[in-house]
Amino acid sequence: MAVTGILLVLFLFAHMLGNLKIFVGQSSFDEYAHWLRALGTPILPETWFLWIQRFGLLAAVIGHIVAATVLAVRARRARPVRYAHRPKVQGSYAARTMRWGGVIIVLFVIYHILDLTTGHLNPIGDKSAPYGNVVADFAPDRWYVTAFYTLAILALGFHLRHGIYSALRTLGQQTADGERNARVIALGVAVVLCAGYLTVPFAVLTGLVT
């Protein structure tokens, strides 16, 4: 769980940095998309690296989901009779919503890939010019797309805040100070990622990026 989760976080960072190139300008962003495909070309055929990365990512996601499902099934089996009085949340809401948060994120990613990678759901859908796709996506009159992205990214933020904090403990963080640091790190990462991702749609929405 923790290992796959951390891989996913690494991807999220890389992806965010890529996305932020949008502020540098259209060509930079498009170049980046091309660069992604060309990466490793002398050694590997074009887009291979991308595909390797995609498989890695997919494996991580699947591993992650499988692990989450196994835990969920075990949990269900471990408590065959539910409480009549619904237990109060004593820990944190972020912790209680991990599973739902995960599902929302997956649904989002599917939509998102159909939107920006394959272009099927994108108003422009020009694969060679992602800049345009992105700008078109978050146009003010398509505010609902922005809203959906925002929601998904906030869900992601919650998932990450608890996820990272939790992963650190899973990997053996074991002191009271460490506990405090873990909380700060998790919150920090979640906020940075959320902010990083959210700037793009909002920049488009507000016309900062056209």
Asked if 1 touches ligand HEM (CB under 6 A), the answer is: yes
Q: Which does 159 bind (CB under 5 to 8 A by kind): other proteins, ligand HEM, none?
A: ligand HEM
Give the tokens for residue 171: 């990997």
Q: 162 CB contacts (<8 Å, ≥6 apart)?
A: 92, 94, 95, 98, 186
Q: What does the per-residue mask of binding to other proteins show for 66-105, with x meaning CB under 8 A?
A: ----xx--xx-xxxxxxxxxxxxxxxx--xx-x-------
d(CA 143, CA 168): 37
- Nearer Cβ to other proteins, position 16 or 95? 95
Contact 68, 1 (CB under 8 A): yes
Write down the least CB distance from residue 149 to ligand HEM, Å: 5
The dihedrals phi and psi of 171, each to the nearest 5 degrees, come to -85, 10
Asked if 195 touches other proteins (CB under 8 A), the answer is: no
3-state secondary structure of 29: helix
Amino acid at 188: G
The alpha carbon of residue 182 and the mean position of all alpha carbons in its chain are separated, in whole angstroms, by: 20
Q: 52 CB contacts (<8 Å, ≥6 apart)?
A: 44
Under the rule (CB under 6 A), what is the footprint of ligand HEM? 1-2, 5, 8-9, 12, 15, 19, 33, 36, 50, 54, 61, 64-65, 68, 98-99, 102-103, 105-106, 109, 112-113, 116-117, 130, 134, 149, 153, 156, 159-160, 163-164, 166-167, 170, 197, 200-201
Interface residues with other proteins (CB under 8 A)? 1, 70-71, 74-75, 77-92, 95-96, 98, 162, 165-166, 168-176, 178-179
